[in-house]
Copies of this chain bind each other. A is one copy, B any other.
Amino acid sequence: MKVALLAHEQFPDRAKTAVGVLRYADYDVVAVLDRDNDGTRVHDHVADVQDAPVVASMSDVDADVDALVIGIAPIGGAFEESWRPDVRNALERGCDVYAGLHYFLEDDEEFASLAAEHGCELWDVRKPPADLGVADGVADSVDATVVATVGTDCSVGKMTATREMYEYAREEGLDAAFVATGQTGILIEGEDIPVDRVVSDFAAGAVEDMVLDAGADHDYVFVEGQASLVHPAYSGVTASILHGAMPDHLVLCHEHGRESVHGYDQALPPVASFVDRYEAFAAPVKEADVVGGMLNTRGVDADDDAREAIADFADAIGAPADDPVRFDPGSVVEVIR
């Protein structure tokens, strides 16, 4: 399937959905829309993903496109009105539109009417199913080994680390499943539940349902964590995933150099403190240990420096660590094999 990725003014560093799709999804990306980087190519910005031209708008995309994917996830999940001409253009040429916003495209009168007129699908990835319920506290009844990523902050690489561990496990011949909990993971996987959009009382229950489903059919279940227990706005999402999934093992994700909560005037506690923080939080519901760490070193130029940063991180958390994109997720996966 051919898709265009909307990432205006944010590609690549603040367009984690777009980069996730470029790296992991089964889509053929024909263009990235970013009016600030018009005329460049994806490979000018990110080397280790599929390449595509970067253009200023949907009307600059001549190729056939099956779907326009909104590849940015702003704080609050609002729709930016400056994207409207691109979505309009896509629908008028018969493209589906996929979005992971809190603002639902299908509730937008113009988009709903254009989609009906041109026979297009509007997929609001973040719309949860209607039949969710309260967690029963039974996710640990699965025979599978359940591994969840946890983090020091938002946007440190939890989805990426989870996906890399899952793909490594599959390549090693292990029967592994990936449980997506956020819009990027869901866009890549094509299913699962956006936990941050579920009403609070049912958030853990939604995760429990997914783990029970995945654990019934697979030996290893890798659960994508969200945000952080110290996040001023999203800690409830983190808590619900951790208690709903009842994982056996945790993998702590961090971005090298991150010292405060992204977008907030709040210092992050020392990285080492997160091991006890997560283990102590998990324990009353289900004991879980931090068996490894994933360090995002995208801000580090030299590989040697990145390796040193990873060694320091591993020391701090007392467990093996790596950068799953720059280097290899294998050493961490081998611990839980």
Contact = CB atoms under 8 A, between A and B. Distances in A.
Contact of A102 (B201, B239, B244): B201
Contacts of A235: 204, 239-240, 243, 285
Contacts of A229: 239, 281
A222 to B, nearest CB: 21
Contact of A137 (B205, B233, B246): B233
B200 A137 contact: no
A205 B197 CA distance: 14
Interface residues of A, number: 47
Contact of A233 (B75, B77, B204, B261): B204
Interface in A261-286: 261, 264-269, 277, 280-281, 283-285
B133 A76 contact: yes
A236 interface: yes
A254 to B, nearest CB: 15
| Copy total for this chain | 2
Contacts of A236: 200, 203-204, 236-240, 243
A258 to B, nearest CB: 14
A199 B197 contact: yes
- Residue picked from A136, A200, A264, most chain B C-beta under 10 Å: A200
Nearest to A283: B269
Interface string A135-150: 1110000000000000
- Residue picked from A201, A239, A285, most chain B C-beta under 10 Å: A201
A234 interface: yes
A230 interface: yes
A137 B261 CA distance: 11
24 contacts: A134-B234, A135-B232, A135-B233, A136-B264, A137-B233, A137-B261, A197-B201, A198-B200, A199-B199, A204-B234, A204-B235, A204-B236, A205-B233, A229-B239, A230-B285, A231-B243, A233-B244, A235-B243, A235-B285, A236-B237, A236-B240, A236-B243, A269-B284, A280-B280
Please name the 9 residue pairs, one residue from A and one from B, whose CB atoms are nearest each other, closest first. A236-B240, A137-B232, A230-B284, A236-B236, A135-B233, A196-B201, A239-B239, A236-B239, A235-B239
